[in-house]
Structure 1
Amino acid sequence: MAGDRCSIPVGVLSKCDNDILYKLLHELVDGICERRCVRYQDYMKTWDLQDWWDVSDTCQSFIKQAIKHGWTKDKIENSVSELSKDQKQILTEVILSRSDELREHLRSKTTQISNASLQDFDWQMKLAMSSDKLATVQEPLLVVDLNIRESEKKKAVSLEMNKLELEKMITSFEAANKVVQQLKS
């Protein structure tokens, strides 16, 4: 639970009234969803630049964390126990009312790491009997043909791997899978 505590600067947030906080949180959500950029000029009467950075960065991080972990109303309020009752209620209302669009946007941003996606693959196992340098090799080779779609173009990639190269590739795929599983939980 301690790792879930919010580091939102309570003293800095107390400088604004609830209407400003409500407007700010909705604008921060719009910023996360890349609809509208939050401007310091709109809040410079309330906070100096350093306080503005603290408030905007920590609130955005908190909102993303709450969405990532699917926090309930109680969990959100417990994570910001230092805030006033009204501030907790505003924060909770904004996060929960816009959770679907936030989750969808964050999910699509995650999947947009690359334009390329695997459409299909085929593989063959071959046995290299000899090479130009050795009379007898007898080494198994795996040939993998990947059909990749990049934007609207299709591209074919062919890989030929010996046993050691295949083991390295499998190890890197397993490590990538662990990272994906950690991000899901």
Structure 2
Amino acid sequence: MKMNSGILFLSLLGFLPVVIPTCPPPCKCATSIIDCMSKGLTVTKLPVAFRPSAEIINLSYNRLTSIPSGLFDNLKSLQTVHLQGNPWECNCDILYLRSWLQWQQNRTFYRDVRCASPAHLQGRVIAYLAEDEIISTCQYWYCTLALFSQLVLIIFLLLQAILVIFIIIYLQRFRRTAAEARSTTRDLYQHADTWSLQEQ
């Protein structure tokens, strides 16, 4: 009893870490198993960390498109992660998962972890993808972004040009109206002078 009290005291002082077993919602957990199967998990809803003692993690049949970088790195006891049944997007974000899979000794276990998109990689086993194939999708994404930016810039310049044209047309009409007003004013003054002379 005294020994347990001493360990607790040292833990509270920060000399020993306090290990609190937790189960990330909405998963179900056993001693060394974390079951998150069919929980509708997306990348944003995925737990930010798992307990270090986890040996098996089941992430199958969710809506995961990638795995956050470093998620499995500190799980020293981890043996297997069930990943099948997810719509994996094989773009730049899949590089971490591909690298992690390639380091696994039981790589054949992950043959069902396949790309759902893009179309030219659909059905390919992620663990066997070449890095160049993924990087090419990244470059395509950057090219698409650059093209979109150029289109936005062109549209913005066109709108500016249209605005300038409208301003020029408005100024021309304003000048005509002002000239007509001045001409009308002169005519009125001339008629007024003529009438005053006739009355005299």
Please state which band the TM-score falls in when normalised by the shorter chain: under 0.3
Q: Give TM-score, length-normalised by structure 2.
A: 0.21
Bigger radius of gyration among the two = 2
The structure whose RCO (Cα within 8 Å, separation 6+) is larger is 1
Q: Give TM-score, length-normalised by structure 1.
A: 0.23
Structure in which a larger fraction of residues adopt strand: 1
